[in-house]
Amino acid sequence: MSGFPILDLVIGMIFVFFMLSIISSSGVEIILTGMQARSKLLGKWLFKIFDKTVTQPDGTKVALGQAIMDHCSVTVLSKEGKSTSYIDAKNFTSALLEKITFDPNNPKNIINNIDDFIKELDKTEVLSTEFQRVLLTYANEAKDQFKAVSLKVASEIDIFRSKIENWYDSSMDRLTGALKKKYSRPATFVMAIIVTLFLNADSIAISKYLYSNPEARAKLSEQALKDVNDSSLQQSLTRLQQSKNLTKQDSLSIEQIEDNISDRVTDLKTARQSLEGAIPLGWNGSVFTNSQGKFSSWILLSKIVGWLATILAIMMGAPFWFDILNKISNLRSTGKKPDESEKK
């Protein structure tokens, strides 16, 4: 309790929006994990960029994208021809260079200098001309950069590989943006509607309830400022933030998918219990009726506006509301400025 009713009301509403966002994000994560949206998007990118045919060690011919997905340094427990949710930049670079320089007539031949890499890149036919030119540029830049430095802390090949890794990481950043645009945002919007209507989370009704119930308002405010420093809640938020990107936190196997879903369900239950103990949620037979027990169009309109406000708040995301709660908590912990006499 802050001692200021309006501040308690604001803190309480922010906490409600934060918990509803956690519920929505957990639901979205369960859906995306079950759909394996990240692995599908990454696989689509690989097949689009690396569509030329290469010869495998067993003599079969497949697309370069599939050869990279099935490479021993990349694949984990995914099925043949299916991408994992995440590929490390170093492993991707190793798989790419190995497939580019693989010679069916001399399969054990290993390239160990930058000039041979340039020769192989110049004659390869498994890359598009555009990407072939990019890699040749990286190789020559690595060669020039190595000559320019006086302290040789990395070889020419190391510099070349790091340039490919940086290109791959930047591509994954763009792919993450595509993931959010194609899957995460639409799923979050739909889930926000489902959560709001299922729980009857009307922002107007909740704010009125907290305003007219000082005890509930103070309790919710106190709980909000307590939970903002809860390590388990912060870990849940961190997991949700990481899971939105193409990172190592993504599931790579059936067992990890099940564990990920289990974590999201736990987060969902925790958030739901925190809200239900403080504010009225759910439906009853008199939601749209006035004091005379008759249907009221004004109440319906108020409900619609309140639902829309809640949906928009959920769309802002749990990290947004958590940051605001954190700032309010930090301001309260500083206390008032001491008087000069107290300083002396």
> Is residue 230 scored above 60 in pLDDT?
yes
Distance CA(203)–CA(307), nearest Å, equals 7
User: b/e per residue, 139-164, with b = 16+ CB within 10 A?
Assistant: beebbeebeeeeeeeeebbebbbbbb
Q: What rounded mean pLDDT belongs to the chain? A: 79
If one counts every other C-beta atom within 10 angstroms of the C-beta of residue 336, the result is 5
Question: Do residues 78 and 251 lie in contact, with contact meaning Cβ atoms separated by under 8 Å?
Answer: no
If one counts every other C-beta atom within 10 angstroms of the C-beta of residue 190, the result is 14
Question: Do residues 88 and 249 lie in contact, with contact meaning Cβ atoms separated by under 8 Å?
Answer: no
Strand segments, DSSP code E, in the chain are: 53-55, 61-63
Q: How confident is the model at residue 249 (pLDDT cuts 50, 70, 90)?
A: very low
> Is residue 174 scored above 80 in pLDDT?
yes
Within 8 A by CB and 6+ apart from 30, the residues are 261, 264, 265
Beta bridge partners of 61: 55
- Mean pLDDT value of segment 185-202: 91
Which carries the bigger pLDDT value, residue 85 or residue 186?
186
- Mean pLDDT value of segment 171-196: 89
- Tell me the per-residue pLDDT of 101-119, one tens digit each, with 9 for 90 and over: 887 777 777 888 899 899 9
Reduced 3-state DSSP string for 4-40:
CHHHHHHHHHHHHHHHHHHHHHHHHHHHHHHHCHHHH
- Ranges 21-30, 164-173, 244-253: which has the least confidence: 244-253
If one counts every other C-beta atom within 10 angstroms of the C-beta of residue 132, the result is 18
Distance CA(243)–CA(142), nearest Å, equals 34
- Mean pLDDT value of segment 153-163: 90
Residue 80 is predicted with a pLDDT of 67
- 3-state secondary structure at position 128: coil
Which carries the bigger pLDDT value, residue 32 or residue 273?
32
- Mean pLDDT value of segment 78-103: 82
Residue 190 is predicted with a pLDDT of 93
- Tell me the per-residue pLDDT of 27-58, one tens digit each, with 9 for 90 and over: 887 788 777 888 888 889 999 999 898 888 77
Residue 71 is predicted with a pLDDT of 85
Q: Is 213 exposed, middle or buried (0-12, 13-18, 19+ CB in 10 A)?
A: middle
Residue 58 is predicted with a pLDDT of 78
Which carries the bigger pLDDT value, residue 234 or residue 257?
234
Q: How many residues does the chain have?
A: 344
Cα distances (Å, whole numbers) of residue 93 to 87, 175, 288, 299: 10, 17, 61, 60
Count of alpha carbons within 13 Å of 275, Cβ hemisphere only?
A: 27
- Mean pLDDT value of segment 276-301: 75
Which carries the bigger pLDDT value, residue 39 or residue 253?
39
Return the axis-axis angle of helices 5-35 and 318-334, rounded to nearest 10°: 150
Which carries the bigger pLDDT value, residue 77 or residue 38?
38
Joined together, the tokens standing for residue 199 give 């729980």
Say which amino acid occupies 186: P
- Tell me the per-residue pLDDT of 305-332, one tens digit each, with 9 for 90 and over: 999 999 999 999 888 888 888 888 776 6
Residue 196 is predicted with a pLDDT of 92
Q: How confident is the model at residue 304 (pLDDT cuts 50, 70, 90)?
A: very high
Q: Is 103 exposed, middle or buried (0-12, 13-18, 19+ CB in 10 A)?
A: exposed
- Tell me the per-residue pLDDT of 128-151, one tens digit each, with 9 for 90 and over: 999 999 999 999 999 999 888 877
